[in-house]
Homo-oligomer: A and B are copies of this chain.
Amino acid sequence: MKKIINRTDDVLTEMLDGLTYAHDELVARVNETGIITRVQHEAGKVGLVSGGGSGHEPAHAGFVGKGMLNAAVCGEVFTSPTPDQILEAIKLADQGSGVFLIIKNYSGDVMNFEMAKDLAEMEGIAVESVIVDDDIAVEDSTYTAGRRGVAGTVLVHKILGAAADQGRTLADIKQLAEALVPRVKTLGVALSGATVPGVGHPGFVLEEDEIEFGVGIHGEPGYERTKLQTSRMLAKEIVGKLKKEVQWTAGDHVALLVNGLGATPLMEQYIFMNDVKALMAEEGLIVAFKKVGNVMTAIDMAGLSLTLLSLTDDWLDLLHYPVQTIAW
């Protein structure tokens, strides 16, 4: 394992300390916990909390700040945070109007976030939540019943964060989330596995000319191993699968996110986006919002994913709403 780290046991704590040192004008770490919180919350607004295992940087701590999350709860690498830490984050995020939890669909996260929700409600805090399951690759998976939550989660952070900043109520945000999540769809392709520091070797190994479609952000199996293909063919496969799922029609307005999985340079992400562009034109879709970069990584996995969000209502405005975060 070739990584710039110290003791593998210290990866989480040292990473969070480095992150908060680098961005102390925006975020702070709560004591020795995995909680990264805004330096300043705003009274009266609904608080947004997300999180999960670490190893997906900049998610989720990179999206803490005005206009997005109030706090991110960071578990050990690829491991759900504990309910007591999530509860503490909920308390911090509560500014008198309740707290909304954005949970990626992994069994551990769902269990622990829901337990924290129950505990917070017993303490009199109004809490609502949504489970994001945007990955269309497979049903059920190594750590998941149903579909996995992946890069599309960041678009959920963005849109709900803007709504919260506008002062919408907890009930409004819950309603928005329930309309939003079913319209966020993602599919990825991996060129290599990810190495968890505490494990020391890649979770899976692909041959030099081999790729895998639909791999999860913890290296969970995808739906097909095949030979390396051109960017154009990768885009065709992924857009084709998204089309089957979304069943769009020409003229629909969509948002696109090309997400690098950690080790894939921007060069490749932009080339892929250029191929997606051509397919969007063929389909007659109006691409009203685009983003390219590493937002939800899988440590040092090579590969990328494409997220497509079918826009409606004022979602485009919410995507463009200004934020103050490390990584949006």
Residues of A bordering B, CB below 8 Å:
2-6, 11, 14-19, 21-23, 54-55, 57-58, 62, 189, 191-192, 208-209, 211, 228, 230-232, 234, 258, 262-275, 277, 290-292, 294, 297, 299-300, 302-304
Q: In the complex, what residues of B have CB within 8 A of residue A21's CB? A: 273-274, 277, 290
Q: Is the CB of A5 within 8 A of B291?
A: no
Q: In the complex, what residues of B have CB within 8 A of residue A269's CB? A: 4, 18
**Shortest Cβ gap from A206 to chain B (Å):** 8
Q: In the complex, what residues of B have CB within 8 A of residue A2's CB? A: 191-192, 208-209, 211, 228, 302
Task: State the CA gap A291–B270 with chains docked (Å).
Answer: 23
Q: In the complex, what residues of B have CB within 8 A of residue A209's CB? A: 2
Closest B residue to A77 by beta carbon equals B267
Contact of A297 among B18, B54, B265, B290 (CB under 8 A): B265
Q: Is the CB of A14 within 8 A of B290?
A: no
Q: Is the CB of A22 within 8 A of B270?
A: yes
Copies of this chain, how many? Answer: 2
Q: Is the CB of A6 within 8 A of B232?
A: yes
| Residues A4 and B272 in contact in the complex (CB < 8 Å), given A265-B57, A300-B263 | yes
The 9 closest A-B pairs by CB, nearest first: A18-B270, A18-B274, A57-B266, A4-B268, A18-B273, A263-B263, A22-B292, A15-B270, A14-B271
Q: In the complex, what residues of B have CB within 8 A of residue A22's CB? A: 258, 270, 273, 290-292
Q: List 8 A-B contacts (CB under 8 A).
A: A2-B208, A2-B302, A4-B268, A4-B304, A6-B230, A6-B231, A18-B274, A58-B266
Q: In the complex, what residues of B have CB within 8 A of residue A297's CB? A: 265-266
| Residues A19 and B228 in contact in the complex (CB < 8 Å), given A57-B265, A297-B265 | no
Q: In the complex, what residues of B have CB within 8 A of residue A211's CB? A: 2
**Shortest Cβ gap from A295 to chain B (Å):** 11
Q: In the complex, what residues of B have CB within 8 A of residue A17's CB? A: 274, 277
